Chain A
Amino acid sequence: MHEEQLRLLKEIMAVDFSLVELNLFLDTHPCDQRALMDFNNLCCQSKALRRQYEQCYGPLMACSDAPPRIPWGWVETPWPWQIDYGRS
């Protein structure tokens, strides 16, 4: 995986992890306005990053913003356990 693709993928992973964490917090604190605002902002950020990633590098989900191609991108792009995430 190219450096720029990996950088963008890791950025999406980081933003989406923050979303999981805030999601769990909001489950037990559904009236916390600050957490809800952070969640909504990160949600927009994640959508924009995903759109950018999928347009350049193929789908993250089967139904995606990736441009149509043959063979279908879903079966062509690497699975997460096959990716070399580089040095930490």
Chain B
Amino acid sequence: MWVYEKKLQYPVRVREANPRLAKYIITQYGGPDGELAASLRYLSQRFHMPTRETVAILNDIGTEELAHLEIVGTLVYKLTKDASIEEIKESDFGAYYADHDKAVYPVSAAGVPFTAAYLQSKGDPVTDLQEDMAAEEKARSTYEWLINLSDDPDVTDVLRFLRQREIVHFQRFGEALDLVQEHMNSKHFY
């Protein structure tokens, strides 16, 4: 189970309304390499991990991804809440606004709704951990591109924090993969 804490993992500041930037950042909420896909992937895969360490790392990184989902949702909320209809019409955000107003909804930057097809849970721990390492790298790249698109230094600061977490998660999954391979290559006497 989970318990909610009334705080963010990292403070989210934005300089001013910026619906254009929100339209890009929403992709880390419900896009192919976003935080929702990440949390569902790890929290689903954890049931079939063969060692105690790897169950723990998937459980705990999957949980941290939910905190990141909240950070990304907060970015979108803060970037749009004071945006005027004129600002929305002038930005890329108009197409999103037509379907969702300023509500936070899991879609990619191009407007494709979230789908479970973004993730796998294969039952083979080596396969799953390889996917997880690739997923962290894809998310890191996405944060790089979002940093390139950002014109708000406060938003860039949050994106840098999230990018750094992907690097740490990649490292931990690499260690988990080593542990699983060691486990599979060892002789099992009972």
Contact = CB atoms under 8 A, between A and B. Distances in A.
Interface of A: 9-10, 12-13, 16-17, 20-21, 23-25, 27-30, 59-62, 74, 77-81, 84-88
A23 B59 CA distance: 11
Interface residues of B, number: 32
A29 B70 CA distance: 28
State the majority secondary structure of interface residues on B: helix
Interface of B: 3-13, 52-53, 56-57, 60-61, 64, 67, 70, 73-74, 77-78, 154, 157, 168-169, 172, 175-176, 179
A57 to B, nearest CB: 10
Contact of A81 (B3, B5, B70): B70
A27 B53 contact: yes
A23 B10 contact: no
A13 B6 contact: no
Given A28-B175, A28-B176, A81 B9 contact: no
Contacts of B5: 16, 60-61
Contacts of A81: 8, 12, 70, 73-74, 77-78
